[in-house]
Amino acid sequence: MAELTFWTGTMDAGKSTLALQTNHNHAARGRVGRIFTSHDRAGEACISSRLGLTHPALEVTPDLDFWRFTVDTLTHGGRIDYLVCDEAQFYTPAQVEALAKIVDELQIDVFCFGILTDFRSRMFPGSARLVELADRTEVLQVEALCWCGKRATHNARTEDGVMVTEGEVIVVGDVEAEDSPPAEVAYEVLCRQHHRRGLTAARAKAVSLAPEPLPFG
């Protein structure tokens, strides 16, 4: 039986790597699939991994109808055994419902990959609908780490090195490399405690380098 599976984790947990590996494994067994993504860090119509892997993909825009795309492809003699859907947090709830319909009505496997919450710690509508509809929701076993060494559970957005909690939900950026100059817009994975405090790696380093306060006389 076909399944709708949702693989989730924080940024830097290897979701796109797993998406590409999933496609490779199925294609190696003679199955034919389609790869979708949305707002990938590498640009439009491309799925990329931080390990350096890339693959062409179909860009998911808000007006893409997954059901119509799939039915039209099959009607015109195309073959689809599975769909790989990366950055699924950016899909609309209606698109997620269409993916579930493809699984149920056409018996096509759908593998979705995405993060649960945005930089404000609020669930993306697409991710919320996936959790509600998926046959299985799997948390990636590769744990991203906060700068303190704890398991990272939250995605933080920084602007010029400072954590922000307001702004547009979708702003393309990447996880900032350690010891690199602050990017205009970047992301960092943090544990809940340090996300609550807004304590990024750069801020923690600055605080630790600050001189100790003078004792009161």
Q: 1-23, pLDDT tens digit by residue?
A: 999 999 999 888 889 999 999 99
Under 8 Å CB-to-CB from 52, ≥6 apart: which residues? none
Q: 102-130, pLDDT tens digit by residue?
A: 999 999 999 999 999 998 889 999 999 99
CATH number at residue 31: 3.40.50.300
Q: Which residues are catalytic?
A: 87
pLDDT band at 172 (very low <50, low <70, confident <90, very high): low
Minimal CA–CA distance to 81: which of 108, 120, 50, 43?
Answer: 108
Q: Quote the CA–CA distance of 126 and 14 in Å, as a whole number.
A: 19
Is residue 214 in some structural domain? no
Is residue 51 in some structural domain? yes
131 and 62 together in one domain: yes
Range of the domain at 203: 154-209
129 and 38 together in one domain: yes
Is residue 87 in some structural domain? yes
Secondary structure of 173-207 as H, E, C letters: CCECCCCCCCCCEEEEEECHHHHHHCCCHHHHHHH
Question: Do the beta carbons of residue 191 and residue 143 sit within 8 Å?
Answer: no
Is residue 144 in some structural domain? no
Question: Do the beta carbons of residue 188 and residue 158 sit within 8 Å?
Answer: yes
121 and 199 together in one domain: no
Minimal CA–CA distance to 124: which of 11, 1, 32?
Answer: 11
Total domains in the fold of the chain: 2
Provide the 3-class DSSP secondary structure of residue 22: helix
Which phi and psi angles does 204 have, rounded to 5°?
-65, -40
16 and 118 together in one domain: yes
177 and 74 together in one domain: no
Q: What is the pTM of this model?
A: 0.80
Which phi and psi angles does 177 have, rounded to 5°?
-70, 145
